[in-house]
Homo-oligomer: A and B are copies of this chain.
Amino acid sequence: MRIAFLGLGLIGGSIARALRRRGPDGPGRETPEVVAWSERGTGPRAALAAGVIDAVAAAPGAAVEGADLVVLAAPPMACVALLGRLGPDGDLGRRLARGATVTDVASTKSALLAAARTSGAPYAGGHPMAGRETAGFEAADGDLFRDRAWVVTEAVNEGDPARVRALAGACGARVVELDAATHDRLVAAISHLPLLAAVALVEAVAGGEEVRDDWGAAAGLAASGWRDTTRLARGDVTMGAEIALTNAPEIAARLRDLRTAIDAWIEALEAPGGPDADAVRRRLAAARRRLVG
């Protein structure tokens, strides 16, 4: 079993760490040979030095040569470009082993599925639902996906979803089967909207490209509430941008729902005759119930 990572940052590195730990542990379990390539090469070199992978490839073609499973662990738009080259006529696809499967870990799925359909790459999409605001292999953690959801989407061109389910299992994750469109709709709500809401909150309080006059004074009063609510806005910019760009309509629809909720808050606070105490209490209580049951 040969596994090739194209991209090896926080997410790919965490999977590679889980595989390496798992390999020698499981009695009778085959230890995969793991090779990695990335655009800048820093993740693969660090992983090799840490004994987490077996080889660093100088080019993506050398990485996928003879691979049974290719894991695209780069930002979404880079994955789309790689899928375009992983079809039977592509420069990368021609080097895959017979029966190989390409999967990925990107936060959006429909754009990647469409790219695989177009190129003919043997693809079965995946999305492990965990992350951190710290990017790069240095932050990788073999327990990152333990007990977390790992979405597996529909396969095309004889990509084998069983390989993806096995990868999720090796990381201790639980598999959730969803079609790509449903994934993108749900993840827009539970993950992409919180990201852009955090960014919008920072823009409203600290300012966007122009800093607000009172940001310094306000920042001096910040406590854990501010830190947690805005944590996602500290994440990797390329990753966030490519998520937004490859799932824009679903995210925009959720942003409209958020705006509707905010408008209703403004209305409650600015009600004629003073703030609407009943509405304020009722809405805080309802939101709390959704979270704590």
List residues of chain A with CB under 8 Å of any chain B CB. Answer: 129-132, 148-149, 151, 176, 182, 185-187, 189-191, 193-209, 211, 214-215, 217-226, 228-235, 237-238, 240-241, 244-245, 248-249, 251-252, 254-266, 269-270, 274-275, 277, 280-288, 290-292
CB distance from A133 to the nearest CB of B (A): 9
> How far is it, in angstroms, between the C-alpha of A194 and the C-alpha of B186 when the chains are bound?
23
CB distance from A179 to the nearest CB of B (A): 12
Chain A contact residues, majority secondary structure = helix
Known A-B contacts A194-B229, A244-B275, A284-B240; A176 and B259 likewise in contact (beta carbons under 8 Å): no
Top 9 closest pairs, chain A to chain B, by CB? A200-B261, A206-B290, A204-B257, A194-B229, A202-B287, A203-B261, A248-B269, A204-B258, A228-B228
Contacts of A264 in B (CB 8 A): 203
Residues of B within 8 A of A269 (CB): 244, 248-249, 251-252, 255
A244 to chain B, nearest CB (A): 5
Given contacts A200-B262, A201-B258, A241-B284, 4 further A-B contacts (CB under 8 A): A203-B264, A234-B288, A240-B284, A249-B269
Enumerate 16 A-B pairs (CB-CB under 8 Å) in ascending A order.
A130-B224, A182-B217, A190-B222, A194-B201, A196-B262, A199-B261, A199-B265, A208-B287, A209-B286, A225-B231, A225-B232, A228-B229, A230-B291, A237-B285, A244-B269, A255-B266
Asked if A191 and B225 make an inter-chain contact with CB atoms under 8 angstroms apart, the answer reads yes
CB contacts (< 8 Å) of A231 on chain B: these are 225, 228-229
Q: Determine the distance from Cα of A205 to Cα of B257 in the docked complex, in whole angstroms.
A: 8
Please, which residues of chain B bring their CB within 8 A of the CB of A229? Answer: 194, 197-198, 228-229, 231-232
Decide: A200 near B258, CB < 8 A? Known: A186-B221, A187-B221: yes
Cα distance A256–B265 in the bound complex, in angstroms = 10
Distance (whole angstroms) from the CB of A183 to the closest CB of chain B: 8
Q: Is B176 within 8 A of A261, CB to CB?
A: no
Whether the pair A221, B288 counts as a contact (CB closer than 8 A) is: no
A53 to B290, CA, bound (A): 36
CA distance A262 to B203 in the complex (A): 9
Picked from B148, B196, B205, B237, the residue with its CB within 8 Å of the CB of A223 is B148
For the complex, what is the distance from the CA of A208 to the CA of B196, rounded to whole Å? 20
Cβ–Cβ contact B197 & A292, under 8 A = no
Contact check, B260 vs A151: say whether CB atoms are below 8 A apart.
Answer: no
Structural contact, B130 and A223, CB atoms closer than 8 A: yes
Say whether A245 contacts B203, CB under 8 Å.
no
